[in-house]
Chains A and B, each alone.
Chain A
Amino acid sequence: MTPENITLISFGYFEKELLGMIVKDVGHEFLLPVKTREGHLDLSEFYNPVRRQYDGFRLLKEVDTKFASAPEKTIGLFDVDLFIPILTYIFGQAYLNGRVGIASLFRLRNERYGLKRDDKILLERFRKEVIHELGHAFGLIHCHDSICVMRSSTYVEDIDQKSQHLCVKCKRSLNLDLSD
């Protein structure tokens, strides 16, 4: 079933300007209408006091059951430190070929790594992360192309090295009309 549109749901405060830029880039990449809305969740339920992080997998499930609706693709936007039980942290995750994904700003900030705040870099990283998780929701797996946005990223430096675009192969997998 071809999705009619993409919805970005922000959980917590996100600057309007940042969201506007993300909406524009996501729409450009997937050639689908993108809308945003606010979502409300009691995040404390997802907080793990031992790890002092938020359970990304449970959040993904929550977004899927309470906020997503077919045939659209939904990405939940967060600003908390996400983890999954087996990994120390994640930037985001999605159901492969599912209808939802999540992405967090938390570990994308320069300040976290002792560097000077840079909103431009933060925006670039976040839109790549959102497009990456959407790519999974559209059924794309990790790509070996070094600049493809679907390349797996473990560190923020990895995100910085790739582009915000899908490579030709991934675009072809999505059946996007490259001539557009």
Chain B
Amino acid sequence: MVKKVSILIVDDEESVRDSLFNWFIEDGYRVECAENAKKALSILQSDNFDIVLADIKMPGMDGLEMLKRIKTLRKDSIVIVMTAFATVDTAVQALKDGAFDYVTKPFDPDDLSHLIRNASRQIALVEENEILKDRVVSLENVEDIVGHSVSMQMVFHEIESVANSNASVIITGESGTGKELVARAIHANSPRRFFPMVSVHCGALTESLLESELFGHEKGAFTGAVYNRKGRFEMADSGTIFLDEIATISPKMQVELLRVLETKSFVRVGGNKEISSDFRVICATNRDLKSMVEKGTFREDLFYRLNVVNIHVPPLRERTEDIQLLVDYFISKYCVSMNKPPMTIDASASKRLEEYAYPGNIRELENMIERAIVVGNGKKIGVKDLPLWKETVTPAFESLDDLGKKHIFQILNKYNWNISATAKALKLDRVTLYNKIKKYGLKPPK
């Protein structure tokens, strides 16, 4: 539905007000009139108008003064000033004071229509821009970070408290724990959220490539540098730069990076002009930077410069209570993206997923669910849909006793509860085996 644009006409001449009123009403606008600036300001106190069309020469408060007052009431209001006596000075002054446009009476009907159409378009663009900004914020929100475990609640709390500051952050955690998502969440909740977050995967680039990627290069700086190219620091101006796998950068790059972080300025490869950029830096690593500092492989000064705040993302095996939540989340996510009806997961598959240790963390779980949805029957995910063979399953948080109990029960079943054969297979004597059966309360299956 198209929104009805509203116009407030302010002119001391009744004929002008009436004719403009009549003209705009025929175009379907909501129109109101005021015979002087005072009345217009009082109308604007209680009602919002998209466009104010005001005469400059009016008894009492003139149009320019009214324009200034309107701007203090509503900074983004569109004010078009009209006058019968055009002078360059008043036109310039009106535009300086924030008028959208300036017209001389009488104007061509086409000019008036164009003027209002342009203003309406501007209003629509501003509104669309606001809506899109809100959508970007909601899309980039912490939605993808799922977890109700205590450790994840701490991560959420840390994201929230660090987001509003400009402090450098190091996010640590094993591969696949969602470090980049945490960085995105910090950026999305920071005042820099309307500016870009630029990611650089340092581990994927050689030293020279990383240098050109971060600082940009001038045309002819090296073979293949056909054009000038902006670097990631330049692109991240007013926003955030995310340096993933920071531990992999060379000692030379560590020096360069430290200098940029300290001065917030740099020179493009092959260039000689100092470029400034206002960025916030967030790094991530799956390595222990502190021990690298102790070993001398990572610069101490750079470490302290980056490590203002440290957020540790726990591995999935340390927050098994989040697994079911993550499973449900990924099932719903992939069912929607693959355009499939909502699926569920059966109890045995769920149990199997909870028992697994996830060396690849959430990324591994996500891939498993995605695969299961692709290969499954489209209704329920079963054990057979999961790429978890028995031997690859590493039980998590099980005691030796639990393991022993399970193993003895399996071997007993294998030998049909023949005690001698089972004891021989287990390399135990019969008495010990009896004692263990008694201790674990094992019984033959019915």
Q: Which residues of A contact B (CB under 8 A)?
A: 51, 55-58, 83-90, 93-96, 136, 141-142, 152, 154-155
Contact = CB atoms under 8 A, between A and B. Distances in A.
B16 A86 contact: yes
B109 A141 contact: no
Interface in B88-116: 105-110, 112-113
Contacts of B106: 51, 83-88
Interface in B18-51: 18-20, 22-23, 25-28
Nearest to B28: A141
A87 B13 contact: no
A136 B27 CA distance: 10
Contacts of A56: 19
Given A87-B109, A87-B112, A96 B25 contact: yes
Name the 3 nearest CB pairs between A and B, nearest first: A84-B19, A141-B28, A154-B110
A96 B29 CA distance: 12
A90 B110 CA distance: 11
A96 B31 CA distance: 12
Nearest to B112: A87
Given A86-B106, A96-B25, A96-B26, 6 more contacts: A57-B18, A84-B19, A85-B106, A86-B19, A86-B20, A87-B106
- Interface size class on chain B is 20 to 34
A86 B33 CA distance: 15
A93 B112 CA distance: 16
A56 B26 CA distance: 15
Contacts of A84: 15, 19, 22-23, 106
B401 to A, nearest CB: 79
11 contacts: A57-B18, A84-B15, A84-B19, A84-B22, A85-B105, A86-B16, A86-B23, A86-B82, A87-B107, A96-B26, A154-B109
Nearest to A132: B26
Given A88-B106, A89-B109, A155-B110, A57 B27 contact: no
A85 B13 contact: yes
Given A87-B107, A87-B109, A155-B110, A95 B19 contact: no
Nearest to B22: A93
B11 to A, nearest CB: 9
Most chain A CB within a 10 A radius of its CB, from B18, B26, B27:
B26
Given A57-B22, A95-B22, A152-B113, A86 B105 contact: yes
Contacts of A154: 108-110, 113
B109 A88 contact: yes
A96 B19 contact: no
B6 to A, nearest CB: 14
A87 B105 CA distance: 7
A57 B19 contact: yes
A48 to B, nearest CB: 11
B110 to A, nearest CB: 4
Contacts of B105: 85-86
Contacts of B113: 152, 154
Nearest to B105: A86
A51 B27 CA distance: 25
Contacts of A96: 22, 25-26
B27 A152 contact: yes
Interface in B127-143: none
A59 to B, nearest CB: 12
Nearest to A61: B18
A90 B109 contact: yes
Nearest to B82: A86
A95 B23 CA distance: 9
A102 B110 CA distance: 20
Given A83-B106, A86-B20, A88-B107, A142 B112 contact: no
B91 to A, nearest CB: 17
Contacts of B13: 85
A151 B310 CA distance: 64
A83 B106 CA distance: 9
Contacts of A94: 26
